[in-house]
Amino acid sequence: MALSIRKGLLAPAFALAALAGCGGDSDPTQVRQTNYGKVEGVNDQANRILSWKGIPFARPPVGDLRWKAPVEPEPWSGRLASQEFGNACIQNGRIYGPGANNTYDETIADTLNTPVGSEDCLTLNIWRPDNGQQNLPVIFFIYGGSNISGYTADPVYDGANLAKAANAVVVTANYRVGVFGFFNLPQLKSGTDSASDSGNFALLDSIQALEFVQANIDEFGGDPGNVTVMGQSAGAINTWALLTSPLADGLMHKAIPLSGGISLASNLPAGSLPTLAPEATYELQGNALLNNLLVADGTVPDLASAPAWVASRTPEQIADYMRSKDAGTILGIVLGRLSAAGLGGSGPIPDGTVLPADPIAEIGAGNYPKMPILAGMTRDEGKLFAPFLTLFGGPPGMIISDADRFRLMMNFDPDAPTTLTNADILHPFYLPVDTPDTGYNARTALLGRIFMEANRDNVMNTVRSQQRNVWYYQFEWDEQPAPWSDIYGAAHAFDLPFVFGNFGPSLFSNAANSEANRPGREALSTAMIDSIAAFVRNGDPNHPGLGVSWAPWPAQLIFDASPTATTITTR
């Protein structure tokens, strides 16, 4: 039965006496007992990190389980090899997602806008320091990607450095994205399973993974009574959604939402861009996908004929039809037809069951589990969304394709002289970048204000009306080599490498990380991780290394650094 772990499987796991210790084992493998069977991970003795990857927390959501709430996995016998990441969930390739090999590599440029990943993807990963300590705080991270892409095997999300530096257990879990993760089609609703009927499959995946944490994390040295959910971008939206979801009550005890909100247009000032769309929008999307699939496979001659054909079938027949379609075909329709109609997006559906119809109103009424919250954003959020500068009547911000931009960054040498300039990447309409009103800096700042800042202020002020223990940081580091310091600066997602302590090969690493900026960059990462460590342990991000006192919102802590040292201030 879907989502039954919490109700039926919360008994302590059977301990393996010889293997239950969480540190000091000379064996390079690490075996732990879960409620479904034994998992065999890796002891990285050189770095004193233990890890387990690709652990199933639900059955593959394929066939009859597509567009249903996750179902707990089948038990396995023997030891399950848990040394490699599981598949990314099926998605159209983007520069922010995996390539053909389920990781960051050169194939990303060749798989853009084509299906990558698999529907068999519901696995999680666990890291912890090899120090023998028990009852460590747990950090459960939810990746971003606009809720249409993303994957736990992204090198930025590797939890080893964060686990060691924060002395915590770090968990990352895949969840379904796009129309496989959030989908509202009336014919799929049985009327007997309110969770599945909500269409919030991605949120239910995260809830199922959190149920797994509750039932099993003590075997890995984690404290199930101290779980912090941290998410960035779409992951932050989903973190706020879980905070307000009745189904997640008791599964999380602190929250770290980075660069995301949970507001409907009705919650925001006119002209703002909400992070949450109404349920009706997702029903339009669901019907449009069904109708376009019928046209694409020749079942009906045109879109005008589709509603009559649909009306002549039972809901069960329509559900069977939708589940029979190839996942890649579905993604092709979303990308090729729905996106042009403004229906290609994805995100939590305020259905009134899994997610309140108006989460902000529920928070404002105090109808949520109050807990310490540490939110964050970057100063130049809008610079990662340069294609959306068309909203202001101008051209897209960049003149190169994502494939070309990916290759430019992948092959860029941050320590060598370059002839690359802003004009090679940005549209001349926005140059020079510092032109008042119309320049790239001004236009991306405007985008950031009406989008990320508007949603931030709405949810943070609403939460602050109910509790005092809510903090906020702004990330302002922009020491990349030229021209990337102008093109990205402190852009959306650029705080993630600092949060995880991962500056190795990844999407933006060559564009951002030079030897010249390494001392300040690494010092800033240490300060940020120390704040996360203090927060997950004590519910307060203050620590002596900040050098300043961090007051709750609406005060802001500014994380920044010169090439050689941190410059942490408040305002």
Residues labelled as active-site residues: 233
The Cα–Cα gap between 285 and 306 comes to: 14
Please choose, from the candidates 187, 139, 185, 176, the residue with its C-alpha nearest in 3D space to the C-alpha of residue 160.
Answer: 139
Locate 561 and state its tokens: 């650094």
Angle CA 78–82–86, to nearest 5: 125
CA 91 to chain centre: 14
Locate 27 and state its tokens: 């064996």
> How would you class 464 by CB atoms within 10 Å of its CB: exposed for 0-12, middle for 13-18, buried for 19 or more?
middle
Q: How many CB atoms lie within 10 A of CB 523?
A: 17
Q: How many CB atoms lie within 10 A of CB 452?
A: 23
Find residue 474's DSSP bridge partners.
377, 558
Q: Number of helices and strands (H, E) in the chain?
A: 17, 15
| The one-letter amino acid at 99 | G
Is 379 within 8 Å of 453 (Cβ atoms)?
no
The Cα–Cα gap between 239 and 206 comes to: 9
Is 413 within 8 Å of 514 (Cβ atoms)?
no
Q: How many CB atoms lie within 10 A of CB 411?
A: 9
Helix axes 279-296, 315-324, angle to 10 degrees: 70
Q: How many CB atoms lie within 10 A of CB 456?
A: 25
Locate 327 and state its tokens: 């996942």
Residue with the two structure tokens 């329709």? 333
Using alpha carbons only, how large is the chain's radius of gyration in Å? 23
Query: To which H or E segment does residue 164 belong?
Result: helix 160-166
Alpha-helical regions (H) of 472-541:
484-487, 496-500, 509-512, 518-538
| The one-letter amino acid at 452 | M
The Cα–Cα gap between 209 and 58 comes to: 8
- Residue 311 to residues 185, 190, 300, Cα–Cα distance (Å): 13, 17, 13
The Cα–Cα gap between 353 and 36 comes to: 29
The Cα–Cα gap between 457 and 443 comes to: 20
Pairing of strands 373-378, 254-258: parallel
Burial code (b: 16+ CB inside 10 Å, e: under 16) for 169-187 equals bbbbbbbbbbbbbbbbbeb
